[in-house]
Amino acid sequence: MFANPLTRQITDFISGIGIPVQAGETPDNVVLPGILIDKGILVVDETKLKYPGDLLHEAGHLAVMTGAQRNVLYNDVSKNAGDEMAALAWSWAALVFLGLPPEVVFHAHGYKGESGWLIDTFSSGGNIGVPLLQWMGLTAEPGKAGQLGREAFPRMHRWLRE
């Protein structure tokens, strides 16, 4: 569906976990160039997509929302700080699962200049957003994995919130 192998790898993963992906045109007023969230579907305009890793972050936003929330979103996702932290942690888990370099998602042109700090934080075991992912039933904090009977972050028990 997509010419860029990285875009194809990422979108195959996203659709494989249950978030629909389709190629299509996106308007110019989207949050991230080439990516439109349309009622739970991730629409990708490869001609406008600047950073394929942004797809994992936007998919993270969809993944941490309930199914009912996912199905009504158009263009912009939640402005809730908790949702953002959960999406950051989710996208870190996804890039680890896919074996991608952190800079694919946390590139220098995003995250308000904090991409390096985010990479350092997650690389050193930081858990920004992980307690929320645990609360959502998606993973377990490293110190609580045993008692919950789940593998610890960045491994995921499930990729989508119910």
Look up residue 74 and give its DSSP letter: B
Q: What is the mean pLDDT of the chain?
A: 94
Cis peptide before 154 (omega within 30 of 0): yes
Cα maximum dimension of the chain: 47
- What is the pLDDT averaged over residues 135-153? 95
pLDDT, residue 139, reads: 97
